[in-house]
A = this chain, B = another copy of it.
Amino acid sequence: MLMAELSARSGVPVATVKYYLRAGLLHPGVATSATRASYDGSHVQRLRLIRALVDLAGLSLGDVRTVLTAVDDESVSMHDAMGSAHGLLSAGARPPTSARDRVDRLVETWGWQVATGSCNRAGLAAAIAALDGVEHVLSDETLHRYASSMHDVAETDLDTVPADDRQAAVRTAVVGTILVEPVLTALRRMAQEDVSARRFGA
């Protein structure tokens, strides 16, 4: 396909596609004349991943490059490639110490494989600290039950990731992590309504 169709199919403006080509984020098409090149499905896929990283995850182009480098480097495991994107998603979290210690203990208890320096630990610690701050303290048992449910969610999440396509895997991980969140939130509120109706309904 020509540039115009690539732009139409990916939803990315021509000028932006050209910018990505110049920046080396998108691989060149096959030249068909001095001024024209032909593109294929791999270009559409690449553009969709870049847009997910930029529009949804709000990454800078520098961060996008970091993720793409991990995606393209076959010596990096699929896990680390998805982690390179994930790590950048959660960069804003601040780590308070007592909550942080509690998270470390819990991860140990649960036997989860979460890197010691993972920003996800800090993210959980920050969320727990926010609850402590309004005196809404979660017991270890409650946290454990939440953890177990969210581990089931993560199994479902990972089942939707295509294991044979690194690029699609990273896009699915980013889109799924961010855009499935409102689905889970809505399901939780609906389920609360159901459980509340069963327990407390007239």
In the complex, the answer to whether B193 meets A115 with C-beta atoms within 8 Å is: yes
- In the complex formed, the residue of B with least CB distance to A110 is B194
Q: How far is the CB of A42 from chain B (nearest CB, A)?
A: 17
Q: Within the assembled complex, what's the spacing in Å between the Cα atoms of A52 and B134?
A: 9
Q: Closest approach, in angstroms, between the C-beta of A150 and any C-beta of chain B?
A: 4
Copies in the complex: 2
Does residue A21 face the partner (Cβ distance < 8 Å to B)?
no
Complex interface bits, A129-166 against B, C-beta within 8 A gives 1, otherwise 0: 01100101010001101111111111111111001000
Main secondary structure, interface of A, reads helix
Q: Is A83 an interface residue (CB 8 A)?
A: yes
CB <8 Å contact, A180 and B123: no
Known: A56-B134, A78-B200, A146-B187. 15 other contacts (CB 8 A): A77-B200, A82-B196, A86-B189, A86-B193, A121-B190, A124-B183, A131-B183, A134-B175, A142-B160, A145-B152, A147-B191, A149-B156, A150-B187, A153-B188, A157-B192
